[in-house]
Amino acid sequence: MARTSASSASAPPGGRRSASMKDVAARAGVSVKTVSNVINGASVGAATRERVQHAIAELGYRPNISARNLRRGRTGILALAVSEVDVPYFAELARLIVDMAEEHGYTILIDQTGGDPKREQYVVNGMGTRLVDGVIFSPVAMDRLDIARRRDTTPLVLLGERVSAGPADHVAIDNVAAARAATAHLASLGRRRIAAIGVQDHDQSTARMRETGYRAALEEAGLPVDESLIVPARQYHRRDGAEAAAYLTELEEPPDAVFCFNDTLALGAMRTLYDRGYRIPDDLAVVGFDDIDDGRYNVPSLTTISPDKAGIARSALRLLLDRIEAVDSAPREVTVSYELRVRESSGSPRRV
Amino acid sequence: MARTSASSASAPPGGRRSASMKDVAARAGVSVKTVSNVINGASVGAATRERVQHAIAELGYRPNISARNLRRGRTGILALAVSEVDVPYFAELARLIVDMAEEHGYTILIDQTGGDPKREQYVVNGMGTRLVDGVIFSPVAMDRLDIARRRDTTPLVLLGERVSAGPADHVAIDNVAAARAATAHLASLGRRRIAAIGVQDHDQSTARMRETGYRAALEEAGLPVDESLIVPARQYHRRDGAEAAAYLTELEEPPDAVFCFNDTLALGAMRTLYDRGYRIPDDLAVVGFDDIDDGRYNVPSLTTISPDKAGIARSALRLLLDRIEAVDSAPREVTVSYELRVRESSGSPRRV
DNA sequence: CTGAAAGCGCTTACAG
DNA sequence: CTGAAAGCGCTTACAG
């Protein structure tokens, strides 16, 4: 009686009650241990295995993942926390991570922070319940100190920052060097007034790294830094790039090149530049960052820094899985390679 | 002794052992029932509640979601199964669904089928273990019959097909009508040779619906259907659009307009058309489908069918949550609205 | 309002 | 190789 009422209380809504391991065991005339062994690939006599598998098929049995997780102390789920999944760079990364995680038997759950500090705090502190075995997190608002302060011990891998002696495992490209290469490329074309779009306040942020690289490249090229050419962007969407470009074209002395801190900024900027009669690259050369699919097909196609995204996905997963298995090691950093892909938006040098 | 060994066997790797409800109860000097009540917002005396909350904070207690799920018979997780998350349309939809699901207390997990029939089969049959409470699924390879044949009872909502008397709940726009509107728009511009890119074989597919609408519009406009202008696309990526456009430009009598079954096909096609010297829309007008962000900023900006994506996300979730609560109702269909957004790619009529 | 206890469906140490 | 039983950490019907 107690059995019955408890069972119905926790059965799935609507009265469907699926078979349990116990049911399978009864049907096959073996113990649940043996059923468990069959399912988990332990060694079981051929005849017994056969009988169990038959019973499983007959009953349409599927393991209850919650019970397994409770027992095993893990869930097989990893979180990917980004500001917004429909940002093309994150969408491309998500695709890779989802596929690679699956090869390791993990499922990816998406958490969108919207760049909100409170949500980022929540992510860094284990996401409320122990739902995930680990988190891959691309911070926007949080800096290194915020993350160092976390009390949660859920394995965490940071994406997109390059902070030495970091508070957690992380994988990134060398953003300073990449930004320097992008800017140097524009300088090598003979451009003198090279603008930057995408500057942000957060310390230790990717934006800050790229700004540093940009400034270094100007200096190395012997070009003056004109602060009026350095434009912030609240977000990294096309709209923000379009607005920043509008500002630049309204300067008394507009730039002859612009390094955008990501491709969507660049795409948005190019739209505005086109509307205002700029020829790209003749009047103004443009370089982006990320090498998203859109940029390759755009007219003009976009010169960009192409990070090894598969390498980022693979490294992030590797670090995370390592840490899930062994907590004690010191935080590790993986630096992934990148390439400058020169395309039409900076393709035909002027004044060289 | 037994307690100890079992406990350490199921503790998280690395020896971290987090506090349980029992620990909190002991600390607060109450029963676990009371702790549970505090956590789940049941009525508890103010002083007791205070003590419990204090104990929770002290121990850094977080509920074990697996145990809760096991007991409740649900997981609070929904799957979104699409071919690839980095397809912009799916990325935009995923963003909306993730955000809206969160408002209802659900988390979204991503499953990528790659359009593979086997993986789609897997999705339709509950995804192996009972990991999710429900599935939102955008089928590529499976048709209505395949889905009708499913034996699994996991609540399922289909996306993107418009099949009356369907085998499961589903939400879609009226693809036939939308495609007809897109094609009729091109005809109204005076275009006579209107091509289509994106035809596929699968019965009952979205592609088939759009093809039907395209053909109907030609007929209504009194235009002949030239089968050589109807181009298949294996996938709906930019690359496929680019290839299809190359084929069209090589015809003896190339088209003067093209209706692409999605925006990425259109974006890819426009790139090829540009390379081959076509002026858009003067020589050739282009219409897409989906209204992704890319198309709005492209040069030329892309005329497209704009489905109410928020409506799709909201309806899919509503249907799914309803079904999670009540299994017995007949399959329902929700048809969401759309709009034709005329932009530059078909903006300046020629020969009218 | 609160407590003691059963049970969700697994996995696994312990025996045999 | 296989079985009987404990226990993972919750929720909840049943008493009080």
What residues 100-119 of chain B have any CB closer than 8 A to a CB of chain A?
102, 107-112
Question: Which letter does DSSP use for residue B229 in this model?
Answer: G
What residues 129-168 of chain B have any CB closer than 8 A to a CB of chain A?
129-131, 151, 153
Does B219 share its domain with B100?
Answer: no
Residues B154 and A250: their CA atoms lie apart, in Å, by: 58
Q: Residue B350 falls within a domain, yes or no? A: no
Does A321 share its domain with A224?
Answer: no
What residues 188-217 of chain A have any CB closer than 8 A to a CB of chain B?
none
CA-atom Rg of chain B in angstroms: 26
Distance A25 CA to C14 C1' (A): 20
Q: Does A32 score more than 70 pLDDT?
A: yes
* Model confidence band, residue A140 (pLDDT cutoffs 50, 70, 90): confident
Does A191 share its domain with A276?
Answer: yes
Residues A235 and A117: their CA atoms lie apart, in Å, by: 14
> Half-sphere exposure (CA, 13 Å, Cβ side) for B72?
12
Q: Is A298 left (phi over 0), alpha (psi -120 to 50) or beta?
A: beta
Strand (E) or helix (H) holding B230: strand B230-232
| pLDDT for position B4 | 32
Instruction: From B107, B100, B42, B96, select the one nearest B74 (Cα to Cα).
Output: B107
Count of H-run helices and E-run strands, chain B: 14, 12
Q: Rounded to the nearest 10 degrees, how much is the dihedral formed by the CA atoms of A137, A138, A143, A145?
A: 20
Q: Residue A329 falls within a domain, yes or no? A: yes
| pLDDT for position B129 | 73
Domain boundary among B63, B93, B116: B63
Instruction: From B33, B344, B307, B313, select the one nearest B179 (Cα to Cα).
Output: B307
A85 and B98: CB-CB below 8 Å? yes
pLDDT in tens, A220-256: 999 999 999 999 999 999 999 999 999 999 999 999 9
pLDDT in tens, A301-328: 999 999 999 999 999 999 999 998 876 7
| pLDDT for position A130 | 74
| pLDDT for position A350 | 34
Q: Does A213 score more than 80 pLDDT?
A: yes
Q: Residue A351 falls within a domain, yes or no? A: no
Strand (E) or helix (H) holding A159: strand A156-159
- Measure CB to CB from residue B299 to each of A63, A64, A271 and give the nearest one: A271
Does B43 share its domain with B122?
Answer: no
B58 phi, psi to nearest 5 deg? -60, -40
Does B234 share its domain with B124?
Answer: no
pLDDT in tens, A283-305: 999 999 999 999 999 999 999 99
> What is the SS3 assignment for A118?
helix
Q: Residue B101 falls within a domain, yes or no? A: yes
* Rounded to 5°, angle at Cα A328 from A327 and A333: 85
- Order of strands across the sheet that contains A194-199: A230-232, A194-199, A257-260, A285-289, A303-307, A338-341
Residue B38 domain boundaries = 2-63
- Closest chain A residue to B84 measured between Cα atoms? A95
Question: Which letter does DSSP use for residue B223 in this model?
Answer: P
A chain contacts of residue B265, beta-carbon cutoff 8 Å: none
Q: Residue A108 falls within a domain, yes or no? A: yes
Q: Does A15 score more than 70 pLDDT?
A: no
With b meaning 16 or more CB within 10 Å and e meaning fewer, what string describes A11-21? ebeeeeebbbb
Q: Residue B268 falls within a domain, yes or no? A: yes
Whether residue B300 is preceded by a cis peptide bond, meaning omega within 30 degrees of 0, is: yes
Q: Residue B304 forms beta bridges with which residues?
A: B288, B341
Joined together, the tokens standing for residue A243 give 């607005």
What size, in residues, is chain B? 352
| pLDDT for position B165 | 61
**Would you give the distance in Å from CA A217 to the centre of its chain?**
27
Can you tell me which residue has its alpha carbon closest to the C1' of nucleotide D2?
A: A34
Provide the number of structural domains found in chain B.
3
Residues B101 and B320: their CA atoms lie apart, in Å, by: 11
Rounded to an integer, the average pLDDT of A81-87 is 95
A chain contacts of residue B84, beta-carbon cutoff 8 Å: 95
CATH number of the domain at A43, please. 1.10.260.40
B109 and A111: CB-CB below 8 Å? no
CATH number of the domain at B105, please. 3.40.50.2300
Strand (E) or helix (H) holding A258: strand A257-260
Sign of the dihedral through C-alpha A58, A59, A62, A68: negative
**Would you give the distance in Å from CA A277 to the centre of its chain?**
36
| pLDDT for position B318 | 95
Does B95 share its domain with B139?
Answer: yes
- Closest chain B residue to A80 measured between Cα atoms? B109
| pLDDT for position B164 | 60
Domain boundary among A34, A63, A92: A63
Residues A188 and A185: their CA atoms lie apart, in Å, by: 5
Does B167 share its domain with B49?
Answer: no
Can you tell me which residue has its alpha carbon closest to the C1' of nucleotide D14?
A: A2
Does A133 share its domain with A182?
Answer: no
Instruction: From B218, B161, B228, select the one nearest B197 (Cα to Cα).
Output: B228
Residue A132, Cβ neighbours under 10 Å: how many? 26
Q: Residue A141 falls within a domain, yes or no? A: yes
Does A180 share its domain with A283?
Answer: yes
* Model confidence band, residue A348 (pLDDT cutoffs 50, 70, 90): low
Q: Which of B65, B83, B286 to mutate to test the interface with A (most CBs of A within 10 A)?
A: B65
Contact B130, B346 (CB under 8 A): no
Domain boundary among B41, B63, B85: B63
Does A265 share its domain with A146?
Answer: no
pLDDT under 70 in chain B at which residues? Answer: 1-17, 161-165, 327, 348-352
Q: Residue B85 falls within a domain, yes or no? A: yes
| pLDDT for position B200 | 92
> What is the SS3 assignment for B141?
coil
| pLDDT for position A162 | 56
Rounded to an integer, the average pLDDT of A162-177 is 82
Give percent above pLDDT 90 in chain A: 64
B203 phi, psi to nearest 5 deg? -60, 155
A86 and B293: CB-CB below 8 Å? yes
Amino acid at B78: L
With b meaning 16 or more CB within 10 Å and e meaning fewer, what string describes A75-106? bbbbbbbbbbbbbbbbbbbbbbbbbbbeeeeb
Residue A330 forms contact with B (CB below 8 Å): no
A65 and B107: CB-CB below 8 Å? no
Residues B239 and B136: their CA atoms lie apart, in Å, by: 27
Q: Show the DSSP H helices in chain A as ranges.
A: 2-10, 21-28, 32-39, 46-59, 65-72, 88-103, 117-124, 144-148, 175-188, 206-220, 238-249, 263-275, 293-297, 309-325
Does A179 share its domain with A168?
Answer: no
Nucleotide with minimal C1' distance from the CA of B61 is D9
| pLDDT for position B144 | 79
Does A302 share its domain with A196?
Answer: yes
